Structure 1
Amino acid sequence: MNYQLLFLVIAGMVWYCDCITPASLDQTYEKGLKAYTEERWSRCIEKFEESLHIYRLYRSVEFNCRLKCNAVKFERRVEENIDDLQIYEAYFNKRNCINSCRKTGYAGVNLKSNPEEFYINAMQAKKPYGYLHICYHQMNMNMKAASAAYTYLVAHPDDEIMLANVKFYTEQPQVDPNEIVDYEGDDYVLLYSLGKESYEKKNWAETVASMEEVIKDYISSENICRVECERQPGQEWSSEFVITLSNNMASLLHCRQHCQDKLKIMKYKSGVEFLADILNYLQISYYNLEKNDLAAEAVASGLVLLPEDEDMLANDKFYTELTKKKATASRSDVEYYFKRDKYEKDLLRFFHKENKDKVDPDSTKK
């Protein structure tokens, strides 16, 4: 994934909403539900697929505006930071930037803004796929039905009914289990699989190419998830402004920390653990390519994430002797990721210090 590509996503999908009346996620989703209850299967497919397209447009506009306005350097009116007024000015500028960007962005793709909370939650929970797999099946499109059911299952791994549905589809003669895909899957998951296949075949150059992209795409995916956290419905309110602000900041940090849970795959407990393992694949591959400096850098980066890992410590000693360097600098992207993650966890511990009964253990775990 790449932030710069998000605008291209919007541009490439404008054709879909080339109409006089702005497309509405709410209305389109309701039309899909109505078609489903009336057993109008082709109409069900049409409207739920359309709702997915509209939601992608909505997310693209929102992400682009937040990313753009986070990056813009505004002209400063308050020269001295008296009573923290520069902070107030920064948020006023960002507010104006986001409102202006949204107005232009939604008009550019002919999309109605501000969907109701119910429909946003439904899209985030992958609810359309729960209906689509049945509609596909009724239209004898079992390959699509299998992938739709699997996409829903990824978001709801404990749903036993959907697990049974996926099993049912894999047993159908027209369904190849190897071709079932997660329609909402991130690129880094596929790249990780390709990298492991190359590693097992001892194709070191291909392993490096895949795993380097895994790191970039995973961090990008997590950053996009973190940007989505800036939308905080139902915020906690107090008559004391500072308390309200602090509670909402803590809620934002909790949401950002949970992005690692949302994106984790297979055995990994967190993004920190996942990136550390990818760096281990890289150090072995670089070593076999006789690129010892890059191998040492991968090890140093792994130790930033897991400083007490015995294998990494042994590898660090090995490369120190091999490269004759007392210390090897770690990768800047990994260093930044770790520091941000550590500081957020520290802030959440500090926030909950006097309210231990409210601590969310998942948000402060190492």
Structure 2
Amino acid sequence: MDVYSKIYGLLTFILQSILLSSTTLEPFDLLYDNGMEAFHKGDYDNVVRYMEGALESFSEVRQTRIRCRLKCGDQHRFDGFLTDKIYEVILYRAHCINQCTEGEIGAQSMHKVSEDVIQDFNRRIPYNYLQLAYRKLGQLDKAVSAAHTYFQANPEHVEMGEHLEQYKAQKGVKEEHFIDRESRPHQKAFFAGVKLYNKGNYKESVTFFEDALTEYYRADVECRALCEGPQHFEEQNHVLYKYNLYELISDHYTQVLHCQHECIRDLATRPGRLSPMENYLPLHYDYLQFAYFQAGRNEKALECALTYLLFHEGEKFMSENVEYYREVLGHDGQPRKEAEQYLKRHKQELDLLLIGSSNLGVPYTEANYWSSSGGREDTNRIPSGTNGWMDYVPISKRNITVSVFHELREGGPLVYENVRLVQNSVTLNGSQRVLFDDVISEDECSELNHLAHSVTAAGDGYKGKMSPHTPNEKFEGATVLKTLKYGYEGRVPLKSARLFYDVSEKARRIIESYFMLNSTLHFSYTHLVCRTAISGQQDHRNDLSHPIHADNCLLDPEANECWKEPPAYTYRDYSALLYLNGNFDGGEFIFTEIDAKTVTASVKPRCGRMVGFSSGGENPHGVRAVTRGQRCAVALWFTLDPLYRELERLQADEVIQGLDNQHMRDQGLHINPKDEL
């Protein structure tokens, strides 16, 4: 009997293993890494296989989490206020979610992915690899859809836009190939409705606007469900800080609530944009009220007008429309229930957020989620459509784009005798820009280039990513401290490591003096970096080596803004690039207007040339593709705030001080060794 029991147990275990393996979803970060590796090997069939698999896995993980959280929320509801019952529901719901999720995609631990990878998927980076791979494989229809999908979230990618224009002229490419594979249903329906509305097809537009509202409220439910995952506690370390049970629950729930509150912003923001569409949700009801009016359905028009006023109580132009509809119909109407419930929940959550934020010790100020520019006034009291819906106005103007200086100056002394001023802000067509030559000599360039080949590592300074900005180039880097460490260990000449340190200090002094700064300029980050064109991947390149960006704010070309908020390095004030060579093709440094398209100045790198500029939205910049050879430079970012000094630089200062002290002691021993006895 024992033998049969053991056999039965073994068979049960095997069966469970088979069932589990059949439902295990391969992690999308692993597939993504495999796809990038295949790309660098030129194995385009596997690029397609792995990248498409990664996108499918990413989507399935997201949808599974939504399904399981909503299903388990329905199965285990908070129907009472008894403490024991609440905890019982929490435990059962957690168990339900865990079983449901692991039953569909396997162990959740397999799908814990770094924020960097998630950001790559949110930015649609896999589609860039896919469009290149499909093009290599001659599958133009799929290449076009991948390129179009990527461009929707990366509109500042000038070369991709140009490449899409070239696709249009190619034989076999059709309009239906230009599809956005990641389009959001609520926005897709809304834009389709607006398109018909602007053509005067009001009756047809109604269907799309109603669909857009249905999809919006569905997307809101999904967004809120996704917020129930892990949260980042920025204000306290919850491992070290001794919280009691209720404080922990309060703080975590406050974070979840804040995430859910921000779904309004998320659903109103187009892919790749930083600012949401102005007045997005109320605008649906405004379009509908006028479209229904044009279609002769005044009761529906009144309903939508009253709903709009829930968001903007007492707004003049819509209040006049309501009076008109009431007069025509001879009776009043009611706003839509879904909007009433939506706003009621929103206000209740705001009250809870204020309490929870107070518990966290973090002040909370609600953003203006539904800013409105109003509508046209009509002397005949006939309802008007809404103007300016395509204006992407940010929710809040609290973050300015340009670093504020009491006085912007330039033209100070160059400090070093051989340094030559080549161009200033005027000739570089901008503000706070400068170009120098002969900052270092040919011999120093050669020595630093040799050092770079010995000490730089792929992905160093780019969170381990070998190709952080483009799949067509390899990026390698090293910090000052790492280089000095290698020098101390004898792995590179200590003299060369010291040169890197000294050259970066020389650059800092030049920038500080030229821009006539009234306070000390501190290092924020120092990086010896080389980017190398990957052989076999340079034909028909359509990307930049480094996309257009600003160094201390998030560039938003469509809104003509640069948002000085995380994850941007908001504390950076000045930047500089000291070039070590020019024997490569491409790689020009470019300044643009804030639209990220209009090039205002171009700089061709060469040994000893240095470009310096203020780090804000006044100086968007990027790097053209390196199509042959290797481009090396010392990249430097500076801050006027000593609180944000580069930690590794401070440690490097200590190493240098120690070496100098050792040198002085050695000299002392050489001059008079008896003094040491």
With the length of structure 1 as denominator, give the TM-score of the two structures.
0.79
Residues 29-51 of structure 1: CA deviation (Å, up to 9, x unaligned): 22212101212112101110011
* Letter in structure 1 aligned against 2:213: I
| Residue 180 of structure 1: aligned partner | 178
1:167 aligns with 2:140: no
| Residue 336 of structure 1: aligned partner | 341
Contact 1:170 1:176 in 2 (8 A): no
The offset of 1:176, in angstroms, is: 5.7
| Residue 33 of structure 1: aligned partner | 36
| Residue 24 of structure 1: aligned partner | 26
In structure 2, C-alpha distance between the alignment counterparts of 1:324 and 1:253, rounded to whole Å = 43
The offset of 1:138, in angstroms, is: 2.7
| Residue 314 of structure 1: aligned partner | 320
Deviates most, 118-127 or 267-276 = 267-276
In structure 2, C-alpha distance between the alignment counterparts of 1:177 and 1:337, rounded to whole Å = 38
In structure 2, C-alpha distance between the alignment counterparts of 1:61 and 1:49, rounded to whole Å = 18
Deviates most, 49-58 or 334-343 = 334-343
1:276 aligns with 2:262: no
The offset of 1:179, in angstroms, is: 4.8
Residues 288-334 of structure 1: CA deviation (Å, up to 9, x unaligned): 33322211111111111221422211111212222233x42211111
| Gap regions ≥5 residues in structure 2 | 1-20, 372-677
* Letter in structure 2 aligned against 1:24: E
In structure 2, C-alpha distance between the alignment counterparts of 1:75 and 1:231, rounded to whole Å = 19
* Letter in structure 1 aligned against 2:267: L
Contact 1:349 1:364 in 2 (8 A): no
* Letter in structure 2 aligned against 1:227: A
In structure 2, C-alpha distance between the alignment counterparts of 1:75 and 1:258, rounded to whole Å = 24
Aligned length: 338
| Residue 211 of structure 2: aligned partner | 213
Match of 2:110 among 108, 114, 117: 114
| Residue 302 of structure 1: aligned partner | 308
In structure 2, C-alpha distance between the alignment counterparts of 1:276 and 1:20, rounded to whole Å = 46
Match of 1:51 among 54, 63, 72: 54
| Residue 85 of structure 2: aligned partner | 86
| Gap regions ≥5 residues in structure 1 | 1-18
In structure 2, C-alpha distance between the alignment counterparts of 1:302 and 1:273, rounded to whole Å = 10
Query: RMSD value over aligned CA atoms?
Result: 3.4
Which protein shows a greater Rg? Answer: 2
Q: Which one has more relative contact order, counting CA pairs under 8 Å at least 6 apart?
A: 1
Percent of paired sites with the same residue: 24
| Residue 7 of structure 1: aligned partner | none
Contact 1:74 1:93 in 2 (8 A): no
The structure where strand makes up a greater share of residues is 2
Deviates most, 116-125 or 272-281 = 116-125
In structure 2, C-alpha distance between the alignment counterparts of 1:334 and 1:249, rounded to whole Å = 24
In structure 2, C-alpha distance between the alignment counterparts of 1:97 and 1:129, rounded to whole Å = 35
Distance 1:249 1:259, change over 3 A: same
The offset of 1:271, in angstroms, is: 7.9
Distance 1:343 1:114, change over 3 A: farther
Distance 1:220 1:303, change over 3 A: same
The offset of 1:21, in angstroms, is: 8.3
Residues 67-109 of structure 1: CA deviation (Å, up to 9, x unaligned): 1111225698xx872xx333212211211221222233336xx
Distance 1:145 1:220, change over 3 A: same
* Letter in structure 2 aligned against 1:40: D
Any idea what SS the aligned residue of 1:322 has?
A: helix
| Residue 329 of structure 2: aligned partner | 323
- Taking the TM superposition and a 5 Å limit, the aligned residue runs for 1:120-199 are 120-157=118-155, 160=156, 162-172=157-167, 173-174=169-170, 179-199=177-197
In structure 2, C-alpha distance between the alignment counterparts of 1:308 and 1:120, rounded to whole Å = 42
In structure 1, C-alpha distance between the alignment counterparts of 2:111 and 2:180, rounded to whole Å = 25
The offset of 1:177, in angstroms, is: 6.9
Any idea what SS the aligned residue of 2:52 has?
A: helix
